[in-house]
Structure formats: C-alpha cells, structure tokens
Amino acid sequence: MAAVRRIEPGEKPKVLWRGILLYLLPLPLLPAALFALTAGEPVKAVARIAGFALAMTAATFIRKGIRLDNEAAKRRLRRRASTVQYRMIGAGLISAGMFIVAWLGLSDPYSLIVSLLFAAVTLLGCYLYYDFDPARKDPEVAAVGITTEELVELLDEAEGRIESIEQSSRQIHNIEFKDRLRRIVKEARDILDTIEKDPADARRARKFLKVYLDGAQQVTEGYAKTHTKDEKHALEDNFRRVLTTIETVIAEQQLKLAENNLSDLDVTIEVLQLQLEKEGVT
C-alpha cells in the first residue's frame, strides 16, 4: 500500500475546482423565472425556480461528496467517504430539477416521457463524470472494538493535534525545545502510521493518543504563549520535565505497539496524565 501523504507545514491545500460548473449551469433559470412571472406564467416560473434550487442543492451535495472522498483517500485505511451518499443524492436532485424544468418550465414543454428521459440522461452523466460515493472495500475492524470510520476519525484528530504542536513550536526560539518537539512530532506520526498499518490495538491506543497528544499540545501552546518574556520562569522547567516524560512514554508505546503488547498501557498513560496535571498543563 502507498504511504500516507502528510500535508507539509506551510503547504496550502489544493482548491477543489471539480463540480464548480454545477453552480454556474443553473444560473440562467433565475432570469428565466422572472420573465415567466412578468409574462403571467406562474407555473413555469415556479418550475424554473424549483429547478434552480434543486440544481444548486445538488451541486453542494456533489462537491461535498467529492471533498470527503479526497480526504478519505489520504489514509492507508480506505474507508467509505461518508455514511451519506452525497454524490448519489446530488445526482438525484439535479435529475429531478431537470425533469421539472423540461416538463413544466419551458416555453414549449416536453412530454412526460421525454422529460423523464432527460432526467435519466442527467443522472447517467453525473455518474459517469462525478461517480457515486464508493462502497466500503476494506474490512471493518469492529472485531477489535472500533470501526474503520472511528479509527480514521481518531487518526485525523491526532494529526490535527500534531499540526497544532508544530505551529506552536514555530513560535519557540529555544533550540533545545524546538529539536525535542521536532522529534516528538516525528515519533507521534510514526505511531499513527503503525496503528494505521495494524489497527488491532487501535481501541486501546485511542486513550494513549488522546492523553499523550492532548497533553503535548496543551503544554506546547502554553509555553509558546509565555516564552517571549526575557526572565526565566517556572514554566520553562515544567516544560522541560514534561517533554522528558513525553519522550519516555512515547518510546515505550512504540515498543508496545511493535510487540502488539499493550497490557500495561493504561498504567503508563495514568503516569503521564498525573505528570501533566502536576506540572499544571492540564
């Protein structure tokens, strides 16, 4: 399997252009509805407004489905992009809008059969160009107490905390701390990658990820907000001690994950949590 692609610091997310055209195509229906009203044809006006509303809603659904699929594809653990079939719903809405406009909204409306044919062609076109939301292909990992969806959400949440640590570390000028945070970030991502390759211990590792990364994020953000002061303060010593504890704990967890042995994981986590509370960072 391909390795997980991480977004590098400072990298701008790509603009999602696919599906933008769906917002542009229905625009002529608005002036057309206004013309129908001024011409005393309320049924055609309502049909055109309904077609416009359905098409714009469909564009939003389809683009959301595309975005979720792009996000899901970043992970080695392939999951269904969403439990809601956004692109299929969007295709159905735009097909319904096309049917209403063709049957009731034109100056020379088509017959019911032809209007249905237009709707069917629109549905087929959406499927061929935008596809529908893919069904799940990878097996669930619910047998170990967590679903694929929950696992990917856990990994995404952990990655967000790691990015927050990286952002805070850029405000810190202490070379020692910057180097240690850089190592912590790298080792944390190694743990995420290990869990992603073998999710058997994901359920128990979930508590570790939340406590470990949340504590590291809090203490890093707290230090980053105060480190600009010239005087030496207690937080600097606290920060150094907590970093040492975190580095020790993460090394132990890497070993346990490699051995698939998390029997004493909870004990180690509690030690870390107590350390964070003692140093006043939780």
Contact between 19 and 59 under an 8 Å Cβ cutoff? The reply is yes
Residues 213-265: tens digit of each pLDDT? 887 888 888 788 776 554 455 667 778 888 888 888 778 777 776 666 555 45
pLDDT at residue 279, rounded to an integer: 55
Contacts of 179 (CB under 8 A, 6+ apart): none
Which helix or strand (DSSP H or E) is residue 117 part of? helix 112-130
- 42 vs 277, higher pLDDT: 42
Distance from C-alpha of 64 to C-alpha of 86, rounded to nearest angstrom: 7
Pair 210, 150: CB distance under 8 Å = no
Domain ranges of the chain: 21-130, 142-278
pLDDT at 93 over 90: yes
**Sign of the torsion formed by the C-alpha atoms of 182, 188, 190 and 196:** negative
Higher pLDDT, 125 or 201: 125
0.85 exceeded by pTM: no
191 alpha carbon, distance to own chain's centre = 19
pLDDT in the model for residue 35: 92
